[in-house]
Amino acid sequence: MSLSEEWIARGDRHVAKTYGRYPLVATRGDGCRLWDADGKEYLDFLAGVAVNNLGHCPPKVVTALQEQAAKLLHCSNYFHIPAQIELAELLCAHSFGDRVFFCNSGAEANEAAMKLARKHSREASGQDRFEVITALASFHGRTIGTISATGQEKVRSGFEPVVPGFKFVPFGDLQALRAAVGPNTCAVMLEPLQGEGGVNVPPPGYLAEVRRICDEFGLLLIFDEVQVGCGRTGRLFAYQYEGVEPDIMTLAKALAGGPPIGAMVAREKIAESLGPGTHGSTFGGNPLMAAAGVAAFRTILEDGVIENCVAMGDYLRERLEEFKGRYPIVTEIRGRGLILGMQLSVEGGEMVKEALRRGLLINCTVGNVLRFLPPLIVTRQEIDEAVDILDGILAEQ
C-alpha cells in the first residue's frame, strides 16, 4: 500500500463523506504545482477552486502569516485589530464600498449580505420587504440560508423546507427579472459571472440594466464575487467590466491567498443598518487571517498579477479555441480572464479523472463544462503543458 493509499484509508474511517474526493493526497504546493504524498507532481488548473489565485504558498502571504503568528493569533472582535482595519481600508479604497464586515467564508459573507438587505429594506421602506431575487444556476453557499438562495435544485434537495423569501429567474433574462419584482422584494443577488453554474458570462449591458431596475423599484443590488473577485476575471472585481456598482458585494476564496476569510462590502448608508449586536463572527477578520489578506491584496495590486491574468487569460482562451476546430465534442469556450469554461457535447467527468492521472488538475461543472481556474501567476509554458495534456485526452474520445 502506498503512502497515499494509507492516508485515504485512514480518512475513510473518520472524515465525513461530504465530498466526492479524487485519489490525490495533497502534501505540498509551490506556485502552479501540487505534489501528493507519494511525490507525484501535478499542474494545478483548479487552484483550490479559485482560492489560490497567487499560487500555492505565495511568499508574501507565508511571511505575513509567520510574522503575525509570532505576535497574536486571535483576539475578540470586541477589540480593534490593526490588520483587519488595514484590510478594510484597502477594500474600500479600491471598490465602491465604505464599510466591511469580515467572516470566514463565502457562504457566511452571503448570509451577512442577505441579513443586511432584509434589515435595511425594512427600515428604509417601513414595509415588510424581505424577498431576494436570484438567478437560476447560481451558487451562493451551503448553509440553509444560502442553499435557499441558490438557483440549483440539486443543492437544495434533501434539506427542505428551505428558507422562504427567494425567487429565481434565468440569468441574463431582464424581462423575467422585472416580472419577478413584487411588493415584498428587497434585493437582487447575482454573480457577475456564474462559476459553479457553468462559467456563464452575462449578456452585454445586462448588469447595467439590472442596476437600473433596482434603482427604479428601490431594491438593493448584491454582487456575489466570492469566486470571480480578487482579480480572477482580469479586473480587480468582476463588476468593473461594465462599470456597474452594487450596493453590497461579497468576497472570500482568494481574498487571503489561501487562508480562510470572507468579507461583505457595503455602502455607508446601507451598512449602518447592522449596528452593534445585529451580526457577528467569532473568528471573522482575526489578526492571522487579516494579515494574510493584507499581504494577498497588496500582491494583487502591486505585483502585476492582474496584468498577467489578462495576458494569460487571452492566451489560454486562444489555445482552447483551437480545440473547437479539431474536436466536434468541443462546442464553446467562454469566460473572462482566468475563469474559462469549455462546453462539451458529452459528459466531462471521466476526462477530469484522466487529466488527474496525467498530472493535470481541472474540474467539471453542470456535467459537461470543463472549468479552468489556474493561479493568476500562470505562465505560457504551463498553459502549453496543460493544453498538451488536454489535447491527448480529447484525441481519445
Ramachandran class of 291: left when φ > 0, alpha when ψ lies in -120 to 50, beta otherwise: alpha
- Is the C-alpha dihedral spanning 284, 285, 288, 289 positive or negative? positive
d(C-alpha 317, C-alpha 339), whole Å = 10
**Residue 16 neighbours by CB under 8 Å, 6+ apart:** none
**Residue 39 neighbours by CB under 8 Å, 6+ apart:** none
Cβ distance 53 to 231 under 8 Å?
yes
- In the residue annotation, 372 being an active-site residue is answered as no
The 10 Å Cβ neighbour count of residue 230 is 29
Q: Which of 96, 130, 166, 224 is catalytic?
A: 224
Scan for cell 428551505, then name that residue.
162
Q: Which of 247, 253, 297, 372 is catalytic?
A: 253
Ramachandran class of 193: left when φ > 0, alpha when ψ lies in -120 to 50, beta otherwise: beta
Cβ distance 308 to 376 under 8 Å?
yes
Cβ distance 33 to 44 under 8 Å?
yes
361 φ, ψ (degrees, to nearest 5): -105, 115
C-alpha to C-alpha distances, 78 to 75, 282, 286, nearest whole angstrom: 8, 10, 11
Scan for cell 457595503, then name that residue.
266
Cβ distance 133 to 189 under 8 Å?
yes
Q: Which of 101, 102, 130, 139 is catalytic?
A: 139
- In the residue annotation, 60 being an active-site residue is answered as no
Cβ distance 129 to 185 under 8 Å?
yes
Provide the annotated active-site residues.
139, 224, 253
